[in-house]
């Protein structure tokens, strides 16, 4: 892959990658660092990429998730999602859910954010995080169970 081809592919998916990074890290500075690190890594390893234009986005997203995880581990933080502005389509009651997701353990919040904010399929989450599909399913189940327990009487909000 040439420099120009790489630049063109990055240009197409950069806004999406920025949103993923910001959702995972909550801080614009950290999100920018993770995105820059991911793009530098992807550029250095572009000769290893064997997919097409569509799979490039998923390949770089996986690198980005690993970069974001490294930043979180280095700064000993959990995935903070409470301050990321929810999409306009979300209802006002979802802010409670968003707040509760931010309080989950990082490994549970991560799969919930990728599933429900970025609408990824479970197999895509497994590929992105480099974990087995069964682990994604169990983390989603555990995370949603914790959210339901946290919501108490407001459980119907999660059933939408």
pLDDT at 77: 43
Task: Tell whether 59 and 122 lie within a shared domain.
Answer: no
pLDDT at 159: 52
- Which DSSP string corresponds to 1-47? --HHHHHHHHHHHHHHHHHHHHHHH--HHHHHHHHHHHHHHHHHTGG
Task: Tell whether 100 and 160 lie within a shared domain.
Answer: yes
Task: Tell whether 15 and 27 lie within a shared domain.
Answer: yes
Residue by residue, pLDDT tens for the chain (160 residues) are 788 888 899 999 999 999 888 888 878 888 999 999 999 999 999 988 888 877 898 899 989 988 988 887 776 544 444 444 444 444 445 567 777 887 888 889 889 888 888 888 898 888 878 889 999 999 999 998 988 888 774 555 445 5
Task: Tell whether 89 and 157 lie within a shared domain.
Answer: yes
The residue out of 77, 102, 119 marking a domain boundary is: 77
Task: Tell whether 38 and 96 lie within a shared domain.
Answer: no
The residue out of 77, 110, 126 marking a domain boundary is: 77
Task: Tell whether 58 and 87 lie within a shared domain.
Answer: no
Task: Tell whether 101 and 130 lie within a shared domain.
Answer: yes
Task: Tell whether 72 and 84 lie within a shared domain.
Answer: no
pLDDT at 94: 57
Distance (Å, rounded) from C-alpha 100 to C-alpha 78?
13
Query: 100, 115, 81: which is closest to 145 by C-alpha?
Result: 100
Q: Which domain holds residue 72?
A: 1-77
pLDDT at 116: 84
Q: What is the 3-state secondary structure (H, E, C) of 110-160?
A: HHHHHHHHCCCCHHHHHHHHCCCHHHHHHHHHHHHHHHHHHHHHHHHHCCC
Residues in CB range of 87: below 8 A, 6 or more apart: 117
Task: Tell whether 88 and 152 lie within a shared domain.
Answer: yes
Task: Tell whether 136 and 160 lie within a shared domain.
Answer: yes
Domain count, the chain: 2
CATH code, domain carrying 44 = 1.10.1740.10
Task: Tell whether 45 and 87 lie within a shared domain.
Answer: no
Task: Summarize pLDDT for 26-48 with one digit per residue, the tens.
Answer: 788 889 999 999 999 999 999 88
């Amino acid at each position: 892959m040439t420099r120009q081809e790489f630049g063109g592919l990055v240009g197409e998916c950069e806004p999406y990658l920025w949103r993923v990074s910001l959702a995972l890290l909550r801080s614009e500075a950290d999100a920018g660092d993770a995105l820059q690190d991911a793009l530098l890594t992807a550029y250095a390893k572009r000769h290893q990429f064997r997919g097409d234009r569509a799979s490039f986005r998923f390949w770089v997203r996986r690198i980005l998730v690993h970069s974001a995880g490294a930043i979180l581990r280095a700064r000993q933080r959990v995935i903070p999602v409470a301050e990321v502005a929810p999409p306009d389509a979300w209802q006002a009651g979802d802010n409670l859910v968003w707040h509760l997701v931010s309080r989950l353990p990082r490994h549970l919040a991560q799969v919930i954010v990728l599933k429900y904010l970025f609408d990824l399929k479970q197999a895509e989450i497994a590929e992105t995080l480099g974990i087995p599909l069964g682990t994604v399913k169990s983390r989603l189940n555990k995370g949603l169970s914790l959210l339901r327990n946290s919501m108490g009487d407001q459980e119907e909000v999660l059933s939408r």
